[in-house]
Amino acid sequence: MSLCRKSFGTLSSGEDVSLYLLESGEYMASWSDYGASWLSLVMPDARGVKDDVLLGFSSFSPYAAKHPYFGATVGRFANRIAGASFSLAGKEYNLFSNDGENHLHGGRRGFGRRLWKGTMDTIDGNPSVRFSLDSADGEEGYPGNLHVAVTVTLDRTGELGIFYEAEADSLTPLNLTNHAYFNLAGEGSSTILEHELLLRCGRYLPVGASLIPLPGEPVEVNGTPFDFRKSKKIGDDIGTSLSGYDHCFIVDSLLADEPFAVATEKKRGRRLSVATTSPAVQFYTGNYLDGIMGKSGSVYGKHSGFCLETQYYPDSPNRPDFPSCNVEPGEIWAHSTKYRFSVL
């Protein structure tokens, strides 16, 4: 087990950005305090060859520029809010429109482009980093002063846990997730269409052209391209779902240690299992990746990676029929997601 911090870059403000390296057993992860971002996960394959299975960049400067949220902790609200506005307790709040007319992943800047405070620690003998951030009342249009903490741990079995906590001094919506892009064959090696995926999700949210959930209840996946209750290749039905998957699936069982998702890449012999306490997951297949220069000469095209963004339902602040994502003043908002990497 090892844990260290290194210099990663400098912001235009003169603030230093750090890189945190966590190593446990055969697994190594790196994170940055810029955006509380998950930058890499290095693991062996079935032959013992190690690869990085997260898409991203080799240096800091591309993370400081516009990019597809590689590994970022996004908030205050992950995913989309229709019309970049919502009403809460009888008052209307206007947000920044950064996805057509809609608000996406926290807006103009969001948590993924903020410098968090990082603190190294060990938890149960495992390397750990705690990132914390304060978001002021009115930031990006949201109400209330908010304090957020994200704690990351890595154990020798290949489980990387992300634990989210938040407190606010007034009622405010919150939806935190990590936007890591995975490719279990190794970043930059191929598309993810041959990966097999199981999702224990019996319902999903149909969306309109702007990817906002349509009115009505979640729809049963049975008989649709969204049925992953039996493991199948991601590419099997992808042509029938717009340009790929970018949809919210409702998790059947909210147990912190019971996987709701299992992704398998048989050629290299790697598996990823995911468990969460969040009510849903946005399954995204990198539909808009288009020739992005990645790590060590890699080029990321369409479907180069997939995301399993555990979260609340999109547009929840405008949908009283959806589970409430609000932080109540005086209460702790808490969720966890655990990613277990393993070799077949």
Q: Give φ, ψ of 343 to 5 degrees.
A: -110, 135
d(CA 129, CA 132): 10
C-alpha radius of gyration, the chain, whole number:
19
**C-beta separation of 182 from 54 below 8 A:** yes
The residue behind tokens 């390296």 is 21
d(CA 158, CA 163): 16
**C-beta separation of 261 from 306 below 8 A:** no
Q: Which of 145, 259, 141 is nearest to 197 (CA)?
A: 259
Q: Which of 310, 263, 302 is nearest to 285 (CA)?
A: 302
Counted residue by residue, the chain has a size of 344
Catalytic site residue 103? no
Q: Which of 103, 105, 179, 335 is catalytic?
A: 179
Catalytic site residue 179? yes
Count other Cβ atoms within 10 Å, centred on residue 241.
Answer: 15
Just list the catalytic residues.
179, 309
